[in-house]
Amino acid sequence: MLKTLVWQPSSVDPNASTPTGPGNVPVVQELADVTEISDILASGNSCVWLDLVGATPEELALIQEEFSLHPLAIEDAARQAQRPKLEEYDDTYFMVVFAIEMNQGLVRVGNVFEVAEAEPPPRKFGWLEGTPFHLHEVDLFIGSHFLITSHSVPLPVIDKVWKRWASQPGPIESGTGTITYRVLDAIVDEFFPVLDGIVEEVEELEQRLFTQVQKGAKNNDLRALFRIKRDLLQLRRVLGPERDAVLALSRQDIPLFDRRVTFYFQDVYDHIARLTDSLDVYQDMLTNALESYLSLVSNNLNEVMKTLTSVTVMFMVPTLIAGIYGMNFKLMPELEMELGYPFALTLMIGSAVALFIYFRRREWI
């Protein structure tokens, strides 16, 4: 499925069929016939945004012909599963980024996410099993007068930018730089709520782990800890290369965009840099929390073993005395003593009490 927006200056040919707008405000309309795109771009005074959802080979071949796209870029868009990158093909740039979407197919059970009983239709790409979000690849073909966004499933973040641009387009003089910035900025900003939710969960998890050291952490808490570490790693693997790609856009050496527009890409780069720095910090926090928890558990285990060892030694001496006087030898002087039995009991109790006092003073018990 594809849809196309065309915006052009209001001062168009009065004989043309396109409507006119007041002043210098660009006129925006949806294009029904995609085969007209090449003619519109040839005029040189219009810009096109084409959004492609679940592209078929026929649709990719069509946009390749209409926009004169490089075959290698089309091949990457068809295969999906690309890493974030920015590649230059003559007068066109091919960019891969990832959009994030909350996973509606999971429900929270205790402290972990489990699959809901009534699952929504599965997503074709971007599925991260056991995580509260999806990652979806978005391919961008960027030209001086066109922008193509291609993704496997409908994305609310793209739809929001589409509706906003249709009602409030940017200046035609900026070409596709402004709309490219808006798309990238909206995609990156969607990561912040997800990261905030992960941060809250990390703080709650830390508190639960350290309060449950004495009685042991629940399996759900440990599962949640390792799941969060995996989530942060997945986000880091996406945002790291994506930061490098946006940095290339912000260097002001791309001839497609007006220099004034490239300053906006620096803002997107700052947002991604803040996300990646936060991910690194929270990964360290989780690692430190796990190491601290394991240290406390190990220390607690040592305390328990010390107590059990002390109790064992306390009963070892009385057991030794009972074993000696329980031997079946006839010539044992203590067996003929009138107070032999009370003497043995007193000796056993006294040794146990003495060892108890000794260990108590050393705080082993």
Options 3.40.1260.10, 1.10.357.140, 3.40.47.10, 3.30.460.20; which CATH number does 1-182 get?
3.30.460.20
Strands 2-8 and 106-109, sheet pairing: unpaired
What's the confidence (pLDDT) of residue 340? 77
pLDDT the model gives residue 270: 92
pLDDT, tens digit, 9 for 90 and up, residues 290-300: 887 778 778 87
Domain residue limits, the chain: 1-182, 305-361
Percentage of the residues of the chain whose pLDDT score is greater than 70: 81
pLDDT at 6: 76
pLDDT for position 17: 40
Cα 130 to Cα 133: distance, rounded to the nearest angstrom: 9
pLDDT digits (tens, 9 = 90+) for 73-118: 888 888 877 888 888 888 888 999 998 887 654 434 334 344 444 4
Q: d(Cα 295, Cα 241) in Å, to the nearest integer? A: 35
- Could you write out the DSSP letters of every residue in 261-297? HHHHHHHHHHHHHHHHHHHHHHHHHHHHHHHHHHHHH
**pLDDT value, residue 28:** 74
Q: Which helix (H) or strand (E) holds 228?
A: helix 219-249
* Residues forming beta bridges with residue 89, ordered by sequence position: 92
pTM above 0.85, yes or no: no
pLDDT of residue 218: 62
Backbone dihedral angles phi then psi of residue 186, each to the nearest 5 degrees: -65, -40
Radius of gyration of the chain (CA): 35
Low-confidence residues of the chain, pLDDT below 70? 5, 8-26, 103-132, 169-174, 212-219, 252-254
Three-state DSSP class for residue 235? helix
Residues 310-336 as b or e (16 or more Cβ within 10 Å = b): bbeebeebbeebeeeeeeeeeeeeeee
CB burial of residue 253 (10 Å; 0-12, 13-18, 19+): exposed
What is the model's pLDDT at position 18? 39
CA distance 296 to 153: 46
Strands (E), the chain: 2-8, 27-31, 47-53, 85-89, 92-102, 106-109, 112-115, 133-142, 146-151
Q: How many whole angstroms from its chain centre is CA 274?
A: 14
Number of C-beta neighbours around residue 286 at 10 A = 19
* CATH domain 305-361 topology: Methane Monooxygenase Hydroxylase; Chain G, domain 1 (1.20.58)
Strand 92-102 to strand 133-142: parallel, antiparallel, or no bridges (unpaired)?
Answer: antiparallel
